Amino acid sequence: MYPLEKVITAYRQTHKCDFYQLQLIMDTYVLIVGTVEFVSKLSARVFDRFNDNINACYDWDEVLPEIQKQQPSILIIQANHKNNFNLCRKIKEQSQKNWLYCIFVEDQFEGNDQCLPLDITAEALGNGADAYMAMTSGASGSTYEAENRLLLAQIQVGLRQTRQFRDLIQSNIVLSTIAVTDSLTQIKNRCALKSELPEQIINARLCDQPLSVIMLDVDHFKSVNDNHGHLVGDRTLQILVARLRNQLRVQDGFFRYGGEEFVIILPNTEAASARDIAERLRRLVDKQSFIVQPKERLHITISIGVSTLDLTDDEQGTSLVKRADQNLLKAKAAGRNQVIPESQS
């Protein structure tokens, strides 16, 4: 890869061109593939004011590694190079998840054969290119300006489509995150649990590692809402989540199961360790009151049920969660504010 600064500077000394303002390109990376002469001509025609956003590849073997390192929004390929169609196909195959707009440019068209541009256009589009244009060799005056406008228009189309695609991807990511995130506590929700628990079970069995699940419930939470209001109840859950989350490992999964019930996935954690973790969490909540308002403190407790993956559990995690839930019910029936581990189920 080589910067264009030197070749553009050289052409600035001998060419004085008027260029359209193309603000879209200021946040866009353009990669030009071709000979030094081709890159220089193209830069002088269109991109003189935007060279900070352009890079060039003069070696066809370097193109794919460069795109893998940083994929451009626009790719301009010299059309009359022998490897151009194979290169375009390979690039498109590797760009399915991150869309790339590819323009073929012929810079040596003599204008004698009117069918040639049509044939090349058809072949270029058939090999994955999004646009093709022929620039007349030695063009000047109105022809030169018209070709500049056409190339710029094709680039603008590519930039719009690329931006629309990237906006769509970003929107999908945001929507996907919203779909699996609990809006009150900002941890993952039950929908996320249904998706992630099967993956954790499969991974645990493949790696021959233990996997445990904690299900916890805030004791007498209804009375918090009834006596203090739902806003205080919401604040209580937020404080609880923040307090518990600080005690978990990076690899642990924390989910709001519904209402005041929560589930914690503990990868690579056997039954005894899961019991100890659950007990530590229970004591943490019990020993320190919750400041829900400047002059209002609440003392709450939690009941916890624990289960550990065994050979009979299904891959969806239904039975694993069910056992944790059953142990949670036993903890509540036994007086609350306690942990019932797998061994006592």
Residues annotated as catalytic are 260
Confirm if 336 and 219 have CB atoms less than 8 A apart: yes
Contacts 24+ apart (CB under 8 A), 250-253: 253/188, 253/193, 253/196, 253/197, 253/200
Q: What are phi and psi of 326, to 5 degrees?
A: -65, -40
Q: What tokens does 282 get?
A: 């229970």
Residue 105: both structure tokens together: 């440019």
Measured at the CA of 322, the angle between CA 316 and CA 324, to 5 degrees, comes to 115
Report whether 276 contacts 284 (CB < 8 A): no
Q: Which two tokens stand for residue 100?
A: 């790339």
Cross-strand pairs, 136? 109
